[in-house]
Amino acid sequence: MSPRTYEAYELALRRHVLPVFGSHQVRGITADQLVVWIRDLRRAGYAPHSVHNYWAPINLVMRFAVRRGALASNPADQLTSAERPKPGLGRQRFLDRHEMERLLNAASDRYRVAIACGLFAGPRLSELLGLVWDDIDFRGETIRVRFQMGREGKRRPLKTAAARRDVILMKPLASELLRLRLASPFSGLEDLVFCSTAGSTIGHRNLTARGLEKAATRSRVDGATFHVLRHTFASMLILRGHDPVFVSHQLGHANAAITLKVYAHLFDGARHAREHATASSSSNGGLLHQERP
């Protein structure tokens, strides 16, 4: 299981499974209870792919319990095809301008710039934690993504060539990063950008739970994860008119086809908006220049 999958499952269990089933013994959970839980998630407005993502870890727990002899059978297997959540890509959640503003205003000083970096540069969580000051090219206005931080606290090279990339450094983010560097006792080229008071990594769990999740709760921005921050960065690039190849490079995707598959609806929306603006300008632009009777 990859670190990203582990983090997603852990978050799903903590937010959506344990509040409902945490007081139950595994052997006491029935198929009917699972069906009610799934229906409640759907009625609450969660997208189908989100419900499936919350379903996956509890199903794994049940299967593990069967393997270890704690259950005779998996109640999840008793659900019909219509009752069982369906996997699917779905539309990715991203934050609008007001949600971004609320989230950043609610973030503590310790984690605010890291969250801003997630929003305006789109690194994966491990890539964000792996940044050192030498990766921040203020003059060239780029962030060089070359390393990632493992959960054991060791910085290591990225796994794929596609993940190695230079991300545009937006001026507001550059200003925040520069202020952070000037205020940090760990400002050398090889020092971590986002570090503890001892200069070591602040860690995946701390940045997620103590940083982003608390800010999301205080700001009432539902569903704010580092994946969502990354999707938000992608949406900004697309709405600015950048093509799939450029967006793919900025995100570190293996190819542009992946980017198109994930963000097809945003590319379509941006194209329709541009076409509408062009058509509207062409057909109505002369209204202001017509001679008055």
Burial of 43 (0-12, 13-18, 19+ CB in 10 A): exposed
**Pair (32, 64) in one structural domain:** yes
Q: What's 57's domain CATH number?
A: 1.10.150.130
| 165-168 and 142-145 strand pairing | antiparallel
Total domains present in the chain: 2
Instruction: Phi first, then psi: give them for residue 147, nearest 5 degrees.
Output: -130, 165
Residue type, 14: R
pLDDT tens-place string over residues 126-174: 999 999 999 999 999 999 999 999 988 999 999 899 999 999 999 999 9
Round to whole Å and give the CA distance between 233 and 93: 11
Note the pLDDT of residue 85.
86
- The string of pLDDT tens digits covering residues 42-73 is 888 777 778 888 999 999 999 999 999 988 99
Residues 73 and 138 in one domain: no
What is the domain range of residue 7?
3-78
Amino acid, single-letter form, for residue 92: Q
Neighbour tally for 216: CB within 10 Å: 22
Low-confidence ranges of the chain (pLDDT < 70): 1-4, 88-91, 272-293
Q: Is there a single domain that holds both residue 155 and residue 73?
A: no
- Helix axis angle for 112-121 and 171-183, nearest 10°, is 150
Instruction: Please tell me the distance from the alpha carbon of residue 11 to that of residue 23, in angstroms, as a whole number.
Output: 18
Which pLDDT belongs to residue 276? 55
